[in-house]
Structure 1
Amino acid sequence: MSHISYPLQRKFILISFLLIPLALLALFTYYPAMRLVYLSFTSWDGISPVKEWLGLGNYIEIFTNPDLFGVFLHQIPYVLIGIIQNIVAIVFAVILNSKLRGRNFFRVMLFLPFIMNAVAVAFMFQYVFDTTNGSLNGLLGLVGLESWQQSWLGNASLVNYALASIGFWRFMGYNMVIYLGALQSIPGDMYEAAKIDGASRFQMLWSLTIPNLTPIISLNMFLTLSGALAVFDLPFVLTKGGPAGASETFLFKTIETAFQFNNYGLASAMSVVLLLFTAIILLVQNLVINRKGD
């Protein structure tokens, strides 16, 4: 090693340090991903060594079977409430970035739901949405809105909105903290200059704050939309996909296809479709938000 020049020694050391992480990445990420794509073109029960080659058969089944592709409609409420969640998070971030008394207390209280276990949150809201003894129906009764009382998780038209509202409660504070950090990185001189120019608070929010938050909005919206496509834990714990499959999500259906019906080929194809949809959403979102930022 002493006869080797310093640049070669440096390259050797760098390659040595990178070799193990790259090997682990290839073994546990790239190889499973390639294996998943391969299985998506086959019919396999997960047990027998024989894999029947189907070509695009699994993908044709996904896009032509409304019981599979149609469940994406169940995730529209998650997308809508996720967008509202980000808007509310920005509002709270702007409010709590001001010199409000007790602002640290409110920051902690709004962020607290995020650190709670997802399954524990689901069981907690099972009591909230309970038809007979639930706190939500009880509150509606106390304020004289008995006509609004109903089975929130048993109504096919409302169950996904009820489940999505749990995500709103849990993740709004997390998004707020991210926006709050971005707000604190904006130089105060910009606001001082805007005040001197006679800009109102709304004008500063729309023309100064929002443009500076564009990269963070893009990040949070991607996390929100990709999370809306990959919802599993809430319907699994609270409704098991009911009533009558009304709360089944695409990921829920994928796991059911693999582990309940032992159709790993079709489930692999569904996973690839979900990955492609996530990539398309990221691409479209970047085009829209970055154009708005420019």
Structure 2
Amino acid sequence: MSALRRRLRGGVVPWLFLAAPLALLITFTYAPVANMVAYSFTDWDGLSPELNYVGAENYRDLFTRSELFEVFFVSGYYLAASAVQIVLALYFATVLSFNVRFRNLFKGILFFPYLVNGVAIGFVFLYFFQDGGTLDALFGLFGDEPDRAWLGDSASANTSLAGVSVWRFMGLNFVLFLGAIQSIPGELYEAAELDGANRWQQFRHIIAPGIRPVISLSVILAISGSLAVFEIPYIMTGGATGTETFVIQTVDLAFKFNKTGLASAAAVVLLLIVLAVTWVQRALVPDDKAGDLV
């Protein structure tokens, strides 16, 4: 009996510790997602107590009305910016992982933008890009006086906003890469130096294979983040001048036009796209293959 009791206790006790986090996860994650999926099949306006089932009409609208899917082209700017962001973060993480003067200062400078509130960053750069603002003043120091509205047309505005996202989120990737690089055993660097390997060869044959799982994670975050951009364009332009993102459009559908059912369908489509991208990326670069290259 005592052995059976111990076996039962060993099976029940872990679930007692997991009960609270599982309850929170179900209450605040899975239950809202289930409700969102249910709303996507209705014409609910977000206020009326009545829900009318409309089947797949909301999804049909999303895929047949081109203006609802044109916002994905805006994500291309942020996807390109994410690639630049990953390259810069990887470069700085590699350089600062070696013995460089003032490297702790540079680490703090690079990570600081990620700590600043997104709304504050939006307002700061709103004044930075406005006519006669900080950017124009910087050009004026070099004798150039650009006569253009940086946020006045689609290409310029989206490029400027994507640049702000690079400045803000590079610190996160930098810290991820730096932590991964520092976890690589130092003996590998010593052996490489004895064999005459330079810094580029050490990066190519030691660092890059050793942190491939982290690079893979950063790519997933970059793709999903480029599809779900909200704070910076919403604060700086409100989605005007061709800067409306998929999330801004979804929020407008729900709270400005009272089309909560259609907005829920849009959110479900975005969730499925992110899950599909994650699955494809995991299939192409499994963690076990990345680990075998270390």
Percentage of identical aligned residues: 43
Aligned partners of 1:17, 1:85: CA distance in 2, in Å? 39
RMSD over aligned Cα atoms: 2.1
SS at match of 1:5: helix
**What is the one-letter code of the residue matched to 1:185?**
S
Q: After alignment, is 110-119 or 13-22 more displaced? A: 13-22
Matches within 5 A, 1:5-154: 5-132=5-132, 134-146=133-145, 148-154=146-152
Aligned partners of 2:238, 2:212: CA distance in 1, in Å? 37
C-alpha offsets along residues 232-256 of structure 1, whole Å, 9 cap, x if unaligned?
111111101112xx00000000010
In 2, are the aligned partners of 1:137 and 1:150 still within 8 Å (CA)? Answer: no
Aligned partners of 2:66, 2:249: CA distance in 1, in Å? 12
Match of 1:223 in 2: 221
C-alpha offsets along residues 110-139 of structure 1, whole Å, 9 cap, x if unaligned?
11111111111111111110112x111111
C-alpha offsets along residues 4-48 of structure 1, whole Å, 9 cap, x if unaligned?
822223334333333333233222222221111111111111222
Q: Given the two structures, how large is their TM-score scaled by the length of structure 1?
A: 0.92
Match of 1:262 in 2: 258
Shift of 1:290: 4.1
**What is the one-letter code of the residue matched to 1:19?**
A
Shift of 1:96: 0.9
Q: After alignment, is 7-16 or 110-119 more displaced? A: 7-16
Q: After alignment, is 278-287 or 246-255 more displaced? A: 278-287
Q: After alignment, is 10-19 or 200-209 more displaced? A: 10-19
Match of 2:208 in 1: 210
SS at match of 2:196: coil
In 2, are the aligned partners of 1:214 and 1:290 still within 8 Å (CA)? Answer: no
Match of 1:187 in 2: 185
C-alpha offsets along residues 147-182 of structure 1, whole Å, 9 cap, x if unaligned?
x45211112111111111111111112211211111
Aligned partners of 1:73, 1:221: CA distance in 2, in Å? 19
**What is the one-letter code of the residue matched to 1:60?**
R
Instruction: Flag structure 2 segments of 5+ consecutive residues without an equivalent.
Output: none
Paired residue total: 290
Q: After alignment, is 283-292 or 267-276 more displaced? A: 283-292
Alpha-carbon spacing, 1:216–1:15, altered in 2? closer, same or farther (3 Å): closer
Aligned partners of 1:90, 1:188: CA distance in 2, in Å? 19
Alpha-carbon spacing, 1:51–1:141, altered in 2? closer, same or farther (3 Å): same
Matches within 5 A, 1:228-239: 228-239=226-237
Aligned partners of 1:46, 1:153: CA distance in 2, in Å? 33
**What is the one-letter code of the residue matched to 2:264?**
S
In 2, are the aligned partners of 1:41 and 1:265 still within 8 Å (CA)? Answer: yes
- Does structure 1 residue 278 correspond to structure 2 residue 274? yes
Instruction: Flag structure 1 segments of 5+ consecutive residues without an equivalent.
Output: none
**What is the one-letter code of the residue matched to 1:224?**
A
Shift of 1:200: 3.0
**What is the one-letter code of the residue matched to 1:137?**
D
In 2, are the aligned partners of 1:254 and 1:271 still within 8 Å (CA)? Answer: yes
Aligned partners of 2:70, 2:262: CA distance in 1, in Å? 15
In 2, are the aligned partners of 1:140 and 1:149 still within 8 Å (CA)? Answer: no
Aligned partners of 1:249, 1:284: CA distance in 2, in Å? 23
Aligned partners of 1:11, 1:151: CA distance in 2, in Å? 65
2:158 equivalent among 153, 157, 160: 160
Aligned partners of 2:100, 2:174: CA distance in 1, in Å? 16
Q: Given the two structures, how large is their TM-score scaled by the length of structure 2?
A: 0.92
Alpha-carbon spacing, 1:21–1:289, altered in 2? closer, same or farther (3 Å): closer
Alpha-carbon spacing, 1:289–1:13, altered in 2? closer, same or farther (3 Å): closer
